[in-house]
Structure formats: C-alpha cells, structure tokens
Amino acid sequence: MKLADGDDSARMIVGLGNPGPRYANTPHNAGFLVVEELAARADCRWRTRSRLSARTADFSQAGNRAFLVEPQTFMNESGVAVAAAAAWWKIPPERIMVVLDDADMDMGRVRLRDGGGSGGHRGLASVIRRLGSQAFPRLRIGIGRGDREANLVDHVLTPLSAKEAVWMKRIVALAADAAMFFLSKGTDSTMNQFNGVIVSQENHHDNMEKSR
C-alpha cells in the first residue's frame, strides 16, 4: 500500500540488523527482534519488497497506520532501505523510529532519544546519511560490551547464550511496549515513561525498576 498525499498519521518503525540465519541470534540484531515482536503482537504478515531492499509489515494502532521495516541490506547500508521506504510511504524523519543495539549501554537498558548523532553505530550513520537528517527518534537497546578484553565486533556478532537469550526476550518485550506507546503518545511521553527502566537478568517476575 502506498499512502495518499497529505496523510500525516502514519509512523514507521525500523529495526536495524543483519539479514540471514547467521546473524539471527546476535546482539547486533536487537532491532530486528523488536520489530518482529511488534509484528507478532499485531498478527501482521511480513512481505519482502525488493524495490525497498526490505521486509515490511503494517498494522493500525490508535487510528494510526504503522509500518514496520527490516532492511535486507547489511547493517552498514541500512539507510538505503530506510530512505526508500520513507520516500515510498511519504513519511518524514520525525515520524520514523529507528530501533538499534547500543554497546555503550548496559544490557537491560532501553532508551529513546529524539534525534542526535550516530554514536559510532554504522547502521545508524547510514540512516542519517541517506535520510539527510538526524531529526528522527531512535530507540536504543543496551547490549553492553561483553568481555572488555575481547573485540567489540566479535561481541556484537556472537550468538547470545541460552541465558542471555531469555534476558533479551524480556528486554525486547519492554522495547516493543515503548514502540507501541510511541505510536499513540509520541516521543516525549514515551521518553518519560520508559527511559531509565532497567530489565534485570536475575528475576523473571518483577524485573523492571526505574533507575535513579
């Protein structure tokens, strides 16, 4: 579906990651995990759109159309798909949420920012470059840096352990809650509601607390 001119209610949520089974269970694919969780909640079907270099799905939330995008380029060229989808659906940067991993945040933290630089994340840098704008919200999923003596690339591309995968599932659920909140309440309210919440690894229940 292509939007008619003048539709100002649509939002786009982009999950950053690398396509293919080799990368499916790695920390670097946290963005993919969040949009896949959103699609599962909405019971909507993914489509592969070669013209957009992406997989997409869509649903309605609070009367607004929401488009989910998984770039099928590799991470460093994520902006190719994001810019193509934004142009196709006529969605400006301020209504595009980009969901990505952040090695500079401890695992268990989720943080929304309304614009800013790439912070060294090459996928985000590609999106900024291709959109020609930094003025879009980005939801960062903390993955930590792992062993400080290890190579960061190895950390982000190494599959999660069984214990980490259970923890990540709960983090992804929180991030998906934040994305759904964003669709109906906007960026400022979402930041107030979710920034500072920590998902601990130890407890399955009562595992979220507000940091001080």
From the list 201, 82, 176, the residue with the least C-alpha distance to 130 is 82
Give the start-end residues of each E strand in the chain. Answer: 11-15, 47-49, 54-61, 64-71, 96-102, 110-114, 137-142, 197-199, 208-210
Residues 6+ apart with CB under 8 A from 99: 13, 14, 15, 16, 30, 31, 34, 35, 138, 139, 141, 175, 179
> Residues 187, 112: contact at Cβ < 8 Å?
yes
Active-site residue flag, 205: no
Radius of gyration of the chain (CA): 16
Residue 194's Cβ-count burial label (10 Å; 0-12, 13-18, 19+) is buried
Residue of 28, 121, 204, 205 marked catalytic: 28
**Active-site annotation, residues:** 28
